[in-house]
Amino acid sequence: MKAFKKVTIQDIKKATEDWSIEITPVAATKIENFADYLPLNTTVNVTCLPGSDPIDTIQTAEQLNNDGMNAVPHLAARSLVDQLELDNLLKELVSRASVNEVLIIGGGGNKQIGEFSDSISVLRTGLLQKHGITKVGVAGHPEGSTDISDERLKTALLEKNELAKTEGLNMYIETQFCFDSEIVLNWEKLIRADGNKLPIHIGIPGPATIKALFRFARLSGIGNSMSFLTKQARNITKLLTIQSPDALLSGLSEGMQKDADCLLKSFHFYPFGGFAKTIDYIDSLMTGNTTNHVGEDGKIKNKLAG
């Protein structure tokens, strides 16, 4: 593709260096030791799906910490009952898993079960600072949100910028996944022009079948860049073809290289095709080595090569 003519593999590797990934508590039960295949101190987000038990998040974060990783639990605002529950949850995460970084999201859909309606209401409690947590991720939406208007997204982002400044928080934006680098780069320029100063971690869909990517895109409300998948999905014979994010990474790396003021700082991988397959992909990108981590029983077993 055209982008590959303008950027080298070294540029892509440099842009990918500070990558992170996420895992669900269920997927984590298949992993005996994260250190067997992840570099020490790798940042691994722990998802918080609607209806999940907070104890699952705590246990997964504890497992990651014990295995030498930087666990970053998701806190879903609309799934929290009140400040007491949040206070106790943070206390457990810090004491049991040495958590010093969290990602705060509103939570899927509009259902609010307690006193928090959005992430900013959680940030304003001061409970993060009480427990020594000053590095905080907040959600970003390069293609907008089905739940929030563009104007409200703009206002909320500026509020978070101001709160980060006044409270001394090391805040960053972590985005939805996307398939089109141009959409992401244009969005970054737009919010920068509106006043955003927070660094951005861009969501990257890990290698997966087109069918799987299409399903996750629909569930996540991904908009304009879905046209890529729609074209692919028209040919049913291609639905099980593995799609890797090579072109996306290339386009983003090129944009980061060309614009010295660009706030895109790192890539966050969504392992839609499987946690192990995504790690394999990142490893092959960074080192040229590949190995299979998935046994016949579906559990991750083998170490990374190199």
Q: Which of 158, 164, 111 lies closest to 136 in space, CA to CA?
A: 164
Q: What's the whole-model pTM score?
A: 0.86
In degrees rounded to 5, what are phi and psi of residue 40?
Answer: -55, 145
> Which secondary structure element, helix H or strand E, spans residue 190, and what is its range?
helix 181-194
Tens of pLDDT along the chain (306 residues) come to: 344 446 788 888 888 999 999 999 999 999 999 998 899 999 999 998 777 889 999 999 999 999 999 999 999 999 999 999 999 999 999 999 999 999 999 886 567 889 999 999 999 999 999 999 999 999 999 988 777 888 999 999 999 999 999 999 999 999 988 888 999 999 999 999 999 999 999 999 988 877 767 665 665 556 555 555 555 555 544 544 557 888 889 999 999 999 999 999 999 999 988 898 999 999 988 875 544 444 444 444 444 433
Distance, in Å, from the CA atom of 191 to the CA atom of 197, rounded to the nearest integer, reads 9
2-207+243-287: which CATH architecture? Answer: Alpha-Beta Barrel (3.20)
> What angle is formed at CA 171 by the lines to CA 166 and CA 175, rounded to 5 degrees?
140
pLDDT of 221 reads: 55
> Please, are residues 104 and 85 in contact by the beta-carbon 8 Å criterion?
no
